[in-house]
């Protein structure tokens, strides 16, 4: 064999046998605002597409019984996945790509299995590609034009959006889902199309149970003169006397309440996983709930989904009723919007781009003045962006959690540099930026940070409402250590609601400017990436003159590793991107070393 022939054979073998993930291609992408969003294969999940468009949970259980879960991993299912005929397998952490490919080859031979759908991992969130794509045509495009354009790419209309002109949900029949993604990208470049993108199913890791003790009941402690809620003295974020951390490392809530306690005409939407509307500290505050996961008004959370109830209590719990906790905007109303759920205690939090968009838009349509969003992560979405734009255009103040991964600000909070939204980072009782090494002892997480942070707010050891009774985070009606930028976000939403209560004609831009200009400056003088413009101050925001005597605000050193927090703290953590890179590096090194050895033999045999 000549050297040239030998090298060609070697190249063929490398191309044929280099290990890869079977379900995804490194070149997968979609378009948002004219930019490519590259998609990274997930090392956490595999998605199996069954023959039927929809499947029952009995079919899911039957499938699970047929596969060797000890080898590949456990089936993790929800009604939303079943609606699209998808079965999700959560992979074992130690499984290799070769074993995944081998297992999936066998699974695809099973009865009633059609194919596998790609799963991607973006910013710690796993996203399942399904055969459903959103297309927004430009205003001047007629229905006849729409039909012609869709016929050209062999797409069919699943649903026309009756609320949004020229918005369609489409699918591609007889086409593999990755090919459907490519055709959607073709639609994105059509001059008649404003945007076209996948309706990803988003899988947010569920955070572990809150660490530390819980308050199993409405435990009485020495009450303050005002308010008379028995747990109020423990709410250091509202008024820090120095018994925890540094005195005045708080939002000056009681000083601010002397100026305004909130108006019942101002509504805070808690866009989350549902709120316990029967909770004694919330019941009279609730207006027009909505469940975007199924389109009705019954948004009551699953018994293990306590996150939304905790956020609601922080923002606007009933205050002065001699039970429980005090809320930041005690006089304002709460509009619960359910955009996600988990299917079991400790299970992943499941939603989709379209559900999130519907939840945000409906909150605005039902009169929400402030939108509190203690969630985030994953890749950018034109659907979600358009919902945020809709809220801003209707003068709603939009607040997003920056995230809990001790890294860069997550989507959608990172839109604050281009849109009039508020991105919130977290502080502790010492007015430090929350990090794995800050003084609070919660070394498993740190706030996200970056130039997109608008303001900061307390985010550790927060007393708030829990789902009543035995459900929620623990038995009892309250939780004592809610945390994350999830808890900081409803604090800021509450302060924004107080500003609007005092200034009902203000725009969202004016509210954001007021929060920035009146925050207590921490860390580096002026704006910085960890605190933004500072930790919010209710008294100053309402026109008071409150002096600050708090902590040094050094922000910690920001070092240390951060483990997964999950949605319960606002965000999930995932190692899939890093795992994929590590495997790529390992295999690349192996093959380069092999080529080096073969090259030496070739040199010795043919060129010596």
Annotated catalytic residues are 272, 307, 486
* Helix (H), strand (E) counts: the chain: 14, 24
Q: What residues contact 107, with CB distance under 8 A and at least 6 apart?
A: 48, 67, 113, 116
List, in sequence order, every beta strand (DSSP E) within 51-184.
Answer: 73-75, 86-91, 113-117, 119-122, 125-128, 133-137, 155-160, 167-172
- Angstrom distance (rounded) from CA 249 to CA 554: 12
Omega before residue 227 within 30° of 0, cis: yes
- Angstrom distance (rounded) from CA 1 to CA 608: 16
- Angstrom distance (rounded) from CA 132 to CA 155: 10
- Angstrom distance (rounded) from CA 464 to CA 58: 38
Please identify which residue in the block is written with the tokens 């008294």.
Answer: 539
Report yes or no: 385 and 363 within 8 Å, Cβ to Cβ. no
Q: What residues contact 401, with CB distance under 8 A and at least 6 apart?
A: 373, 374, 375, 376, 410, 413, 424, 484, 485, 486, 488, 489, 570, 571
- Angstrom distance (rounded) from CA 241 to CA 239: 6
Please identify which residue in the block is written with the tokens 């710690």.
Answer: 124
Q: What residues contact 154, with CB distance under 8 A and at least 6 apart?
A: 172, 173, 174, 175, 183
Please identify which residue in the block is written with the tokens 């090194």.
Answer: 589
The HSE-up count of residue 499 (CA atoms within 13 Å, CB side) is: 28
- 358 three-state secondary structure: helix
> What strands, in cross-sheet order, belong to the sheet with 86-91?
73-75, 86-91, 45-50, 113-117
Determine whether 177 is exposed, middle or buried from the number of CB atoms within 10 Å of its CB (0-12, 13-18, 19+): buried
**What DSSP state is assigned to residue 261?**
-
The bridge status of strand 119-122 relative to strand 86-91 is unpaired
- Angstrom distance (rounded) from CA 250 to CA 191: 52
Report yes or no: 370 and 496 within 8 Å, Cβ to Cβ. yes
Secondary-structure percent of the chain, ordered helix, strand, coil, rounded to 5: 30, 20, 50
Radius of gyration of the chain (CA): 26
Report yes or no: 236 and 428 within 8 Å, Cβ to Cβ. no
Scanning 325-480, the segments in alpha helix (DSSP H) are 353-365, 382-393
């Amino acid at each position: 064999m000549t050297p040239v022939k030998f090298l060609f054979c070697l190249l063929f073998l490398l191309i044929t046998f280099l290990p890869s993930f079977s379900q995804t291609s490194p070149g997968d992408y979609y378009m948002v605002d004219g930019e490519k969003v590259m998609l990274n294969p997930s090392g956490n999940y595999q998605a199996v597409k069954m023959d039927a468009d929809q499947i029952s949970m009995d079919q899911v259980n039957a499938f699970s019984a047929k596969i060797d879960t000890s080898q590949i991993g456990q089936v993790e299912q929800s009604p939303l996945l079943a609606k699209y005929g998808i079965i999700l397998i959560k992979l074992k952490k130690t499984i290799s790509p070769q074993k995944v490919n081998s297992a999936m080859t066998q699974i695809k031979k099973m009865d009633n299995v059609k194919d596998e759908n790609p799963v991607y991992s973006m910013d710690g969130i796993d996203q399942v590609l399904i055969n459903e794509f959103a297309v927004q045509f430009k205003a001047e495009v007629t229905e006849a034009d729409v039909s012609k354009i869709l016929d050209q790419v062999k797409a069919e209309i699943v649903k026309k959006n009756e609320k949004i002109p020229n918005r369609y949900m489409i699918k591609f029949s007889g086409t593999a889902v990755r090919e459907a993604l490519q055709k959607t990208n073709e639609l994105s470049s059509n001059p008649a199309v404003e945007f076209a993108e996948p309706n990803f199913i988003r899988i947010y890791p569920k955070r572990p149970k809150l660490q530390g003790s819980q308050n199993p009941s409405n435990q009485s402690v020495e009450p303050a003169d005002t308010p008379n809620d028995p747990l109020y003295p423990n709410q250091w974020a509202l008024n820090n006397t120095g018994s925890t951390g540094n005195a005045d490392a708080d939002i000056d809530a009681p000083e601010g309440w002397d100026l305004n306690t909130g108006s019942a005409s101002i509504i805070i939407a808690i866009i989350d996983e549902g709120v316990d509307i029967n909770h004694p500290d919330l019941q009279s505050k609730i207006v027009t709930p909505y469940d975007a996961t199924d389109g009705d008004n019954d948004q009551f959370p699953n018994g293990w989904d306590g996150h939304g109830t905790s956020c609601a209590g922080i923002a606007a719990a009933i205050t002065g009723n001699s039970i429980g906790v005090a809320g930041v905007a005690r006089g304002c109303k709460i509009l619960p919007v359910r955009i996600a759920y988990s299917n079991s205690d400790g299970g992943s939090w499941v939603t989709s781009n379209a559900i999130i968009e519907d939840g945000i838009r409906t909150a605005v349509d039902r009169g929400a003045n402030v939108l509190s969003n203690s969630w985030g992560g994953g890749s950018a979405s034109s659907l979600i962006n358009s919902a945020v734009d809709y809220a801003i255009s209707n003068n709603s103040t939009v607040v997003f959690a920056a995230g809990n991964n001790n890294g860069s600000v997550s989507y959608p909070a990172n839109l604050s540099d281009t849109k009039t939204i508020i991105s919130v980072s977290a502080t502790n009782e010492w007015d430090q930026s929350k990090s794995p090494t800050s003084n609070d002892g919660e070394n498993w997480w740190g706030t996200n940070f970056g130039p997109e942070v608008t303001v900061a707010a307390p985010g550790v050891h927060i007393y708030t409402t829990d789902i009543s009774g035995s459900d929620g985070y623990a038995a009892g009606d309250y939780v004592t250590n809610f945390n994350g930028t999830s808890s900081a976000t409803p604090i800021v939403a509450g302060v924004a609601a107080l500003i609007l209560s005092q200034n009902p004609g203000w725009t969202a831009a004016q509210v954001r400017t007021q929060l920035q200009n009146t925050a207590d400056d921490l860390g580096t003088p002026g704006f910085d990436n960890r605190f933004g413009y500072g930790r919010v101050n209710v008294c100053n925001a309402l026109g008071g003159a409150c002096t600050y005597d708090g902590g040094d605000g050094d922000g910690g050193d920001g070092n240390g590793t951060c483990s997964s927090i999950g949605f319960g703290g606002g965000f999930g953590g995932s190692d899939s991107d890093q795992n994929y890179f590590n495997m790529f590096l390992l295999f690349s090194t192996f093959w380069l070393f092999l080529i080096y050895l073969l090259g030496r033999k070739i040199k010795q045999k043919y060129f010596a």
